[in-house]
Chains A and B, each alone.
Chain A
Amino acid sequence: MRHIVTKGLVLDEPLIFEVSSAGRKGVEPAVCDVPVVDAAKVIPAAMLRGANDPMAGFPEVSEIDAVRHYTRLSQWNFGVDTGFYPLGSCTMKYNPKINEDAARLEGLSAIHPYQPEELSQGALRLIYELEDYLAEISGMSAITLQPSAGAQGELTGLLMIAAYFKAKGRPRHKIIIPDTAHGTNPASSALAGFKVVPIKSESNGVLTLDAVKAVMDDDTAALMLTNPNTIGIFERNIHDIAAYVHKKGGLIYCDGANLNAIMGIMKLGEMGVDVVQFNLHKTFSTPHGGGGPGSGPVGVGKALVPFLPGPRIKKSGNKYKFVRDNPKSIGRVKAFYGNFGVMVKAYAYIRRMGPDGIRKAALTAILNANYIKESLKGTFHLPYDQPCMHECVFSDKAQSAYGVTTIDMAKRLIDYGYHPPTVYFPLVVHGAIMIEPTETETKATLDGFIETMKEIAEEARANPDLLKSAPVNTKVQRVDEVRAAREPILRWRPGA
């Protein structure tokens, strides 16, 4: 087969501190045209940097040294723009560059949040209409775009649930969370002041009504699940479960992290979901990872609308205005109105894709995942052998006989030029290998990946030691993750 990796020109690169030379300059500032004053004469001694100058030892390099240093570092990087990145549960899909262009339009990127309403009508309209589109896609009554990421969206949703029960005069204290939910769900529940009640999914990976019945009581505020769940399977009992939870006075929170699999196909509101958060940086065209910024809008059903964070935006005639009088609102969750640039990209993406395009993206994501699942299920153990949604989960069971584990195979994939999939998650699968190809990959890319996975399985059988020492083609080879975790060095120090 044709491998996509070659031994390229991999340059070594020291730290920027190590190439520093005292007095070297990249930029010559303009000649000072005001009288120079000695700082010590006008600033109290206690406020001067003095002997503990934190700027001492700051790198001094020429402009070309700085350019080369950061260019080389960027070339070591691996992202979705350089190769296949099938990280399950994270939706690392390619985001069309035109949406980046839209976010950089001067009229949208150079506005200020303190600009008067009448001079921000375009931005307000964009927020208002994006709320509308997300409401249409999810089937929810109203949306807030404020939360800055998925986990903050979860917290916002849970705070609204708490406020809802408090307003009814009967606070509830528990949230039920299945073992196939997203990892942040228990943390968000605890942060919102709830007690987490974990429940197990059935052997086919699906949550059952009986499992919910066994723990649901009148102190349970909500069931919080992810649909499709983290093993990529659709929670097909959701309708009955939601009806039961509602009958007991509880609410349904759906983590929308996996919305990429159902957008344009089905509406969460119609499944009985009361609260959902969207991850615009997964599903709606913002690069995911790298520290953000993200955006985690929250959609709610009718009963929770009064509790949405404020201010809200209202349209009257052709004018958009903020509504700040929301007595039941849980208040702001983010400065100003959220991460506006991410909203622009989502807006551009939705407008450009249209309802048919969005539906087709989801269907293609599902098709691609099932193609990989079917192609590899004879080679790797598939714990849940049934149609999957946007991702599929294998394990290392078949290779463990040769002493080869998931981490060894993940590291070997790097040698072949692929970003490894998610490993050891979800926890319900021992040695999990979780693959999410997304809709943007061609059949040729998927075939190349499948062939490589098969080759690695063959290596596991014939030459397990090779996998134990992988990656071997990279500049930095297998790192000692255990020592790094036990004895972390978090800061460079001179001479250390």
Chain B
Amino acid sequence: MDFPKDLKYTKEHEWVKLDGNVATVGITDYAQDSLGDVVYVELPQEGGTVTKNEPFGVVESVKAVSDLYSPISGSVTEVNDAIVDTPEAINEDPYGDAWMIKVDVASLDELDDLMSADEYQKFIEEEK
């Protein structure tokens, strides 16, 4: 399983990539593997707001329906609508094609309590 070093991770298995003030958010390789084949995804509207630790969308596999939790607060500047029609991208390329939303981050401090790749890997080992 792959956990890129330049990303930050949440306990709910989302990843964040920061570029200036804009954070790109998706779910991790571990999350897509645990879910199994993703069949449906629901994302917020562009221009809406998301709040740290609050649900911003839904992902559904043949096994389960799960909330997507936002790692940061801010306004949604871009939504990857392409994956709504091709949810399999979430299984195939969780860190690339299947990014979910881009957020204009309200406070960069909010990223402080997120995990590094190493910390996240340790976290999921314990969770298993």
Contacts and interface: CB of A to CB of B under 8 A. Distances in A.
A190 to B, nearest CB: 11
A482 B39 contact: yes
B22 to A, nearest CB: 29
Given A430-B128, A482-B37, A482-B39, A424 B87 contact: no
A92 B43 CA distance: 36
Interface centre among B64, B66, B88 (most CB of A within 10 A): B64
Given A430-B34, A430-B128, A485 B62 contact: yes
Nearest to B37: A482
A270 B64 CA distance: 35
B64 A425 contact: yes
B62 A481 contact: yes
Contacts of B122: none
Nearest to A423: B63
A424 B63 contact: yes
A486 B63 contact: no
Contacts of B62: 481-482, 485
A98 interface: no
A279 B113 CA distance: 43
A486 B34 contact: no
Contact of B39 (A424, A427, A485): A485
Contacts of B88: 486
B3 interface: no
Contacts of B34: 430
Contact of A427 (B37, B60, B64, B87): B64
Contact of B87 (A407, A430, A481, A486): A486
B62 to A, nearest CB: 5
Contacts, number: 22
Nearest to B127: A430
Contacts of A486: 39-40, 87-88
Interface string A405-446: 001000000000000000111010010000000000000000
Interface in A438-496: 481-482, 485-486
A481 B37 CA distance: 9
Interface string B44-64: 000000000000000010111
Interface in B50-84: 60, 62-64, 66
A424 B60 CA distance: 13
A177 to B, nearest CB: 13
A424 B40 contact: no
A423 B61 CA distance: 13
Contacts of A425: 64
Contacts of A424: 63-64
A303 B40 CA distance: 43
A206 B34 CA distance: 24
Contacts of A430: 34, 128
Contacts of B37: 481-482
B30 to A, nearest CB: 11
A269 B103 CA distance: 48
Interface string B81-96: 0000001100000000
B40 A485 contact: yes
Interface string A118-140: 00000000000000000000000
B43 to A, nearest CB: 17
A424 B64 CA distance: 7
Nearest to A400: B128
Contacts of B63: 407, 423-424
Contacts of A427: 64, 66
Nearest to B62: A481
B12 to A, nearest CB: 11
B61 to A, nearest CB: 8
A72 B60 CA distance: 34
Interface centre among B37, B66, B88 (most CB of A within 10 A): B37
Contacts of A423: 63
5 contacts: A427-B66, A481-B37, A482-B62, A485-B39, A485-B60
Enumerate the 9 nearest inter-chain pairs by beta-carbon distance, A residue then B residue, closest first.
Answer: A485-B39, A424-B63, A482-B37, A481-B62, A486-B39, A424-B64, A482-B62, A427-B64, A485-B62
